[in-house]
Amino acid sequence: MKIAISGKGGVGKTTIMALLANAFKKNGKDVLVIDADPSPHMAETLGVNNPEAIKPIADMTKLLVERSGKTEGSPMYNMNPQVNDLLQDFMLEHDGMKLMVLGAIQTGDKGCACPESNVLRRMLTKLLLTEDQVVLLDMEAGVEHLGRGTIAGIDHLLIVVIPSKSSIRTALKVKKLAEDVKIPQISFVANLIQDEGDRVFLEKGLGSQPIAFFPDSKAIRKAEREEVPITKLDSVADKAPEVLLKAVTQ
């Protein structure tokens, strides 16, 4: 199963994906997490002590240009780069899970991460998974990755939304674009929920009920500030990760 997560910036995508990854691990799954956000934070969230040891795809500029088939002076890219050998080279194992990082945009003139996105898309379409394997993608905020078709190879898109009108607007736009690229399953996941009023507000604004509700947790905020791995906290999100796990595996 290949699951991606998206939503407006600051809604808690990385936290929810880390908690879902941990829930899958506890259920005996072989978990690969891919941080595809240009401002990656998944390594820190999972408690990787040396995130700089992960070789990001974005750093391999020459290799990526060669793999994507882009020639000097040409704006076109080969849509089928060979990526078979990239998986192990760019993978780090930590706490029973595997992690890959697409890479960050380091300079203001970096421009579009098109070669990196192209290789990621090819990885997703080529990966053949057993029933015990799951790939989780933490995508960049907003809708650009859908416009590039980066996650066209996934099985389920989770759209994180918080109780705000701007978050709902972004979530509905993401859903529309995901439908356009024909992602098989699309679900909303609510975050930062304080009370029943938040639930009602989201359900009314979205026109449907999220498949899981994550609470507004002081423990999560404290863990992030103190650089404590989110997966090491007990009952940090009530039973929301387990509810989400059940919903995506039904």
CA end-to-end span of the chain = 12
pLDDT at 82: 59
Q: What is the dihedral of CA 2, 89, 47, 158, to 10 degrees?
A: -20
pLDDT at 126: 61
Q: Say if residue 13 is exposed, middle or buried (CB neighbours under 10 Å; 0-12, 13-18, 19+).
A: buried
pLDDT at 22: 92
Please choose, from the candidates 82, 81, 35, 25, the residue with its C-alpha nearest in 3D space to the C-alpha of residue 55: 35
The distance from CA 68 to its chain's CA centroid, rounded to whole angstroms, is 22
Q: Per-residue pLDDT averaged across 217-230, rounded?
A: 85
Q: Record the pTM.
A: 0.82
Cβ atoms 134, 29 nearer than 8 A:
yes
pLDDT at 34: 87
The residue ranking higher by pLDDT, 41 or 105, is 41
Task: Please give the backbone phi and psi of residue 123, each rounded to the nearest 5 degrees, phi first.
Answer: -55, -45
pLDDT at 145 over 60: no
pLDDT at 81: 56
Please choose, from the candidates 142, 176, 145, the residue with its C-alpha nearest in 3D space to the C-alpha of residue 160: 142
Please choose, from the candidates 175, 158, 150, the residue with its C-alpha nearest in 3D space to the C-alpha of residue 213: 158
Domain coordinates in residue numbering, the chain: 2-50+88-101+129-249
**Over pLDDT 70: what percentage of the chain?**
70
pLDDT at 166: 95
Q: Say if residue 48 is exposed, middle or buried (CB neighbours under 10 Å; 0-12, 13-18, 19+).
A: buried
d(CA 174, CA 185): 13
Please choose, from the candidates 83, 102, 92, 88, the residue with its C-alpha nearest in 3D space to the C-alpha of residue 34: 102
Considering the segment(s) 2-50+88-101+129-249 as one domain, its CATH architecture is 3-Layer(aba) Sandwich (3.40)
